[in-house]
Structure 1
């Protein structure tokens, strides 16, 4: 075992537990008057829009995964944009920005306010916190980490509590199992090292079922940001109708990897697809998500695969925290005044 800096991953269980304490117990009693329009948080909602970008936006993907297994009462809409979807009736908007300064998320939050939707901010502070707090809108302040992606539990767990408070999903009995999934992954460093070695000097092709889309996207994002690695995600069953056709050409440097969870309804479909991929000469790797509940296996997956990308960054002698191109793009967008925030 090589010495790997796991950055904030060992803190994930404590980040999860600490962050849920910051969700106001009386959040359903909030009633605010904005520009003469009353926004009442006690009313029924017919959808939940989770808006955010990057390491914050993946929270929506994970919640969407979980609702394939949980009995979520309303649709979960994941919005990674500077605008909200047009045709919404009675949504609850959860605006997630780790820094609180994500321009796209602030624009979406302002649009929610202008439309009179109940909105809750989840952030460490920044402009989002100031804008919402000044209007009397609930803001859940969460603990800080080294970068947004390393603070995932502190963004996800308050979001789950909010869903519980609004009667969208019953999550309380799974919260500790999710933490168990993180803890289990933290003990699987040897497996992460083996997987990272398999991915070294290759372009990962990630095959994942629709119900684990969030795990696949998070893995790709961590490969991008931690290891500075390009990767491709193919979502099943859609990817079985297009991406799979490319396996007939033997392209050098590709490494197929499948993510499979217990009780995934696409499991046999994905197994069959991998058999076909193998018949064309590929040798897919399989990562099995461990856990007895949907949240446990989901958190095991994002933790284990995130640690794998840190190992890969180590093997490549890449500094994992910095994301210079992202920072430069934000600076250029700011200079060109593309975001009126």
Structure 2
């Protein structure tokens, strides 16, 4: 296989036929479009009845729910949960706000969960670019947020997260954080030029991470809370974009099990690359745990390891700074493996067989 030079933009373009790198670059514009859309979108909800918010979705469509949960979960007066499956938990009823989210509108698990939530009398909202979910929402008189189509669900995170955030803000359950959003958008605009294909590896953190992960098994660590969803996002982006295995775990739980597993077999441990995502919003004891684990506990482990600090001041900015780096790194890793980061052949194969 021809050796890949990440600083050769023509090589990147040759491998990125569907322009995943371009979609990543446009994340700030996605979020701005979504903000504009939600200014014209009303919320139809009896807030007094809401005891739980349940976001039901799969894959890239569910990521927005994870981000919402970790971003505002500590200030929202009711639990925010994410459901990934065909059925609804037993507690779902008329006091549950169920937000069904499917970028394509045809995710069979989400459609099944939607029908069960409707039968249980839950208050429903749908977010989709079209498909069957949009048709059912219109038929049933369910509030519908229609987002732009044409992307892979995992590349539409701005279109999917911002409507979720706006909905809970418009409901009055969570306060608006306008300044945090403004900071986040500006930070993403600044960072994308540092991480884009035209930025040379010597000054491009995402390319450097991709090179470090090449030929390795990525293990992404985070803190329970703000960066937890981001670590999982890194894992799934590496899975789908780079078509390779990756794993994620969080502090402090991993200090009670995983750290003991870095001894044998040595030939496997040598292929592991640990990246610990950190934020100033991490609990002080977790910050200490990360430091001790990375510098002392794993000092003799034969794996690679590094720590990546979030950028920005606000919680939202720090979340999305790490997300953007991970999205770019996963796409560059795909190119290093000689792959196009957009197609997900195995997922399409599975969907076809299920349809048959």
TM (norm. structure 1) is 0.90
Is contact 1:278–1:284 with CA below 8 Å preserved after alignment? Answer: no
1:233 pairs, out of 226, 237, 248, with 248
For residues 15-42 of structure 1, give each alpha carbon's deviation from its aligned partner in whole angstroms, at most 9, with x where no partner exists.
11112333375734x4xxxxxxxxx635
Q: 2:175 matched to which residue of 1? A: 170
Counterpart-to-counterpart distance in 2, 1:186 and 1:64: 25
What corresponds to 2:77 in structure 1?
73
Contact 1:262 1:291 in 2 (8 A): no
Contact 1:202 1:254 in 2 (8 A): yes
Q: 1:19 aligns to what?
A: 34
Displacement after TM superposition at 1:281 (Å): 4.3
Q: CA RMSD in A?
A: 1.8
Equivalent of 1:192, from 192, 206, 212?
A: 206
Which of 288-297 and 5-14 deviates more? 5-14
Displacement of 1:215 in angstroms is 0.3
Mapping of residues 16-95 of structure 1, within 5 Å: 16-23=31-38, 27-28=42-43, 30=44, 41-67=46-72, 70-88=74-92, 90-95=95-100
Contact 1:16 1:154 in 2 (8 A): yes
Q: Tell me if 1:203 matches 2:209.
A: no
Distance, in Å, in 2 between the alignment partners of 1:314 and 1:53 is 26
2:284 matched to 1:261? Answer: no
Runs of 5+ consecutive residues of structure 1 not aligned to the other structure = 31-39, 336-341
Q: Give the Cα separation in 2 of the matches to 1:159 and 1:9.
A: 20
| 2:317 alignment partner in structure 1 | 296
Match of residue 351 from structure 2? 330
**8 A Cα contact 1:19 1:143, kept in partner:** no
Flag the 1:296–1:145 CA change in 2: closer, same or farther, 3 A: farther
TM-score, normalising length from structure 2? Answer: 0.86
CA offsets 1:29-72 (integer angstroms, 9 cap, x no match): x4xxxxxxxxx63543111101110000111111121135x512
Q: Of 279, 284, 293, which aligns to 1:273? A: 293
Alignment-derived partner of residue 33 in structure 1: none
Partner secondary structure for residue 119 of structure 1: strand
Aligned to 1:338: none
Q: How many residues align?
A: 324
Equivalent residues of 1:179, 1:299 under 8 A apart: no
Equivalent position of 1:37 in the other structure: none
2:232 to 194, 217, 236: 217
Is the CA contact 1:207–1:258 (under 8 Å) kept in the aligned structure 2? yes
SS where residue 182 of structure 1 aligns?
A: helix
- Whole-Å separation in 2 of the counterparts to 1:26 and 1:164: 12
Question: 1:26–1:301: structure 2 CA closer, same or farther, 3 Å change rule?
Answer: closer
Displacement over 3 Å in runs of 4+: 23-28, 40-44, 279-283
2:272–2:304 CA contact under 8 A, matched in 1: no
Partner of 1:35: none
1:236 deviation in Å? 1.5
Structure 2: unaligned runs, 5 residues or longer: 1-6, 14-20, 196-203
Shift of residue 82, structure 1, vs aligned partner:
1.1
User: Cα distance 1:234–1:74, how it changes in 2: closer, same or farther (>3 A)?
Assistant: same
